[in-house]
Amino acid sequence: DTEVTQTPKHLVMGMTNKKSLKCEQHMGHRAMYWYKQKAKKPPELMFVYSYEKLSINESVPSRFSPECPNSSLLNLHLHALQPEDSALYLCASSQGDYYEQYFGPGTRLTVT
Amino acid sequence: GEDVEQSLFLSVREGDSSVINCTYTDSSSTYLYWYKQEPGAGLQLLTYIFSNMDMKQDQRLTVLLNKKDKHLSLRIADTQTGDSAIYFCAETKTDKLIFGTGTRLQVFP
């Protein structure tokens, strides 16, 4: 099983809202990732968790706050977003650094 | 250049072979990957090749790697309408995946 699940599938939020994106994997993977993908562009790395610790933060604005409650779960907390943050947010997991990454279906986020 | 480059668009007839090309940047990349993305969906890992290999075949997919020229290609044999999607190559750079610009493959009957 190489499934990564993400909820919700779609999310519309106002600029003053607080919401969270969730990601789950049950493959025993020790690394989990958040990517942002704008239309017609490749995914851009936001955060990497390795063994439940934040190992990479690609200079992402503080209105995005990641959390890794355990080895199977990854959250992305959203607060005071801007319309330009509207995008597809993808979660991925891998056995570890340098291993192939498996992606979830994504959350389509619209900020109004 | 600094980007992993791919041609933007490829159109093929159903039943023909498709060849998608990629030029990557880091000669020390250990693994190179091909991902497929259908509209509104996540990325599906299709195949990958270790840097000490020249070729890898997996059913209809053939990956060729030319390390000297930092060139990677994906050949899809007997292309079907279900193969219509965006294809991304990706290289490993330190502990990150760097994606190519993506190639939209359109298959027509």
CB-based contact B79:B87 (threshold 8 Å): no
For residue A43, give the nearest of B43, B44, B92 by CB distance.
B43
Does B42 sit within 8 Å of A90, measured CB to CB?
yes
Which residues contact residue A29 at a Cβ distance below 8 angstroms, ignoring those fewer than 6 apart? A71, A93, A94, A95, A96, A102
List the 42-81 stretch of A: residues with Cβ below 8 A of B: 42-43, 45, 48, 55-56
DSSP string for A22-90: EEEE-S--SEEEEEEE-TTS--EEEEEEETTEEEEE-S--TTEEEEEEETTEEEEEEES--GGG-EEEE
Is the pLDDT assigned to residue A93 strictly greater than 60? yes
Pairwise pLDDT comparison (B2 vs B4), residue with the higher score:
B4
**Pairwise CB contact (< 8 Å): A42 & B100:** yes
Judge whether residue B1 has pLDDT over 50.
no
Average confidence score pLDDT of chain A: 94
Q: Cα separations (Å) of B40 from A52, A100, A101, A110, B27?
A: 29, 22, 19, 14, 33
Tell me how crowded residue B61 is: count the other CB atoms within 10 A of its CB: 14
Q: Does residue A2 contact residue A92 with C-beta atoms inside 8 Å?
A: no
Instruction: Determine which of B95, B98, B101, B103 to mutate to test the interface with A (most A C-beta atoms within 10 Å).
Output: B95
Question: What is the amino acid identity at position A33?
Answer: Y
Nearest Cβ partner of B101 from A42, A55, A108?
Answer: A42
Q: Does A102 touch chain B (CB under 8 A)?
A: yes
Chain B CB contacts of A104 below 8 Å? 42
| Confidence category of residue A1, pLDDT binned at 50, 70, 90 | low
pLDDT at A18 > cutoff 70: yes
Q: How many CB pairs under 8 A join A and B?
A: 47
Question: Smallest CA–CA separation between A52 and chain B, in Å?
Answer: 16
B48: distance to nearest CA of chain A, Å?
8
